[in-house]
Structure 1
Amino acid sequence: MKEIILAGGCFWGVEEYISRINGVEDTRVGYANGTRKNPTYEEVCTGTTGHAEACIVKYNEEIISLEELLDKFWKVIDPTALNRQGPDVGHQYRTGIYYIDDSDLNIIQKSLEEEQKKHSRAIVTEVEPLTCFYDAEEYHQNYLKKNPGGYCHIDLDSF
């Protein structure tokens, strides 16, 4: 299994969308690349922890490549929007691709370069190594599976 961490606004929708992709074996939401250890959701929402709402994605690269996974990720975010996705605004809603395996960086950069060709504004999606990840509270895990019809900034019916 390979792992990548994707941040695309509210983690509920990102997790639900990504979990539906063939080859994705597991997902978990949490808080990535901030400064506070073991933050709570309430602390992250203050914008003072530096964390992004994010989703760890475990995928089988024999079924889906990182390139294909990133192509699908780009479809559900606005990579030119700084600190916001849909109606959600704040530093924790920034977009990001956080990698664990240094060998993934070249693939990520090529994907970003291809995506940039589709936009007139600069892409602001962070591409950084993962420095930390803390699991979100249990009620956030698989939130939209537990709460069908719950809030989501991604139109899941269009995919």
Structure 2
Amino acid sequence: MNRQIITLGAGCFWCVENIFARIKGVESAISGYADGDIENPSYEQVCSGNTNHAEVVQITFDSDVISVSELLTVFFAIHDPTTLNRQGDDIGSQYRSTIIYHNDEHAQAAKNKINELTQANSFSDAIVTKVVPLTQFYSAESYHQDYYNNNGDNRYCQLVVAKKIQKFLENFPHLLQES
């Protein structure tokens, strides 16, 4: 196994975590906070918008099964990387589009993917995704982990998360883990 880690922010981490946890080769997808100014922030502190943290998911994967480029393809397909500090009705710097890399290879893969999408005019507006090195990752509170599967009746899960998951399932069935 060639275990690697990348940390991605694409809006609310409930959506991102559930999608990446379904991908073959992904060992874990942990919701958390990164790229901010204070140590061990709480959900309430991050939501206040005063910590500079992004809601992110730290993804541990086997690069012999799935490449970082494939993960980035999914990342760019499941959110709008052209909106600064927002995803849909979720507004604030904590919802920014960000790729937090753990090594130079992933930094270059992120820059290459952004260039590829830009050259292909994949989006009508410019990509504003931040590409930054990991400084610190803080796991979110336990009730945020596997949130969608544990709270499927939550209105946000029904209206927002479920739609993003369905879009992923329709566009990437070849990447799903075997049951």
In the superposition, the TM-score normalised over structure 1's length comes to 0.96
2:58 matched to 1:56? yes
Deviation at 1:107, TM superposition (A): 1.1
Match of 1:78 in 2: 80
Q: Give secondary structure in 2 for the equivalent of 1:27.
A: strand
Identity %: 45
Deviation at 1:44, TM superposition (A): 0.5
Out of 13, 20, 36, which is 1:18 matched to? 20
Out of 98, 101, 105, which is 1:99 matched to? 101
2:140 matched to 1:140? no
- What letter is aligned with 1:72? V
The answer to which structure has the higher helix fraction is 2
- What letter is aligned with 2:166? D
> Distance in 1 between the 2:31 and 2:39 partners?
16
For structure 1, list consecutive stretches of 5 or more residues without a partner in the other structure: none
Match of 2:42 in 1: 40
Out of 49, 55, 71, which is 1:69 matched to? 71
Where does structure 1 differ by over 3 angstroms across 4 or more consecutive aligned residues?
none
RMSD: 1.1
Match of 2:90 in 1: 88
Deviation at 1:120, TM superposition (A): 2.8
For structure 2, list consecutive stretches of 5 or more residues without a partner in the other structure: 170-179
> Distance in 2 between the 1:138 and 1:77 partners?
24
Match of 2:166 in 1: 157
Worse overlay, 124-133 or 144-153: 144-153
- What letter is aligned with 1:52? A
Deviation at 1:149, TM superposition (A): 3.9
> Distance in 1 between the 2:106 and 2:7 partners?
12
Match of 1:110 in 2: 112
> Distance in 2 between the 1:6 and 1:149 partners?
26
> Distance in 1 between the 2:139 and 2:45 partners?
14
In the superposition, the TM-score normalised over structure 2's length comes to 0.85
- What letter is aligned with 2:142? E
Deviations 1:23-67 (A, max 9, x none): 111111110110011111000111010000000001111110001
> Distance in 2 between the 1:10 and 1:119 partners?
21
- What letter is aligned with 1:68? E
Instruction: Tell me how many residue pairs correspond in the alignment.
Output: 159
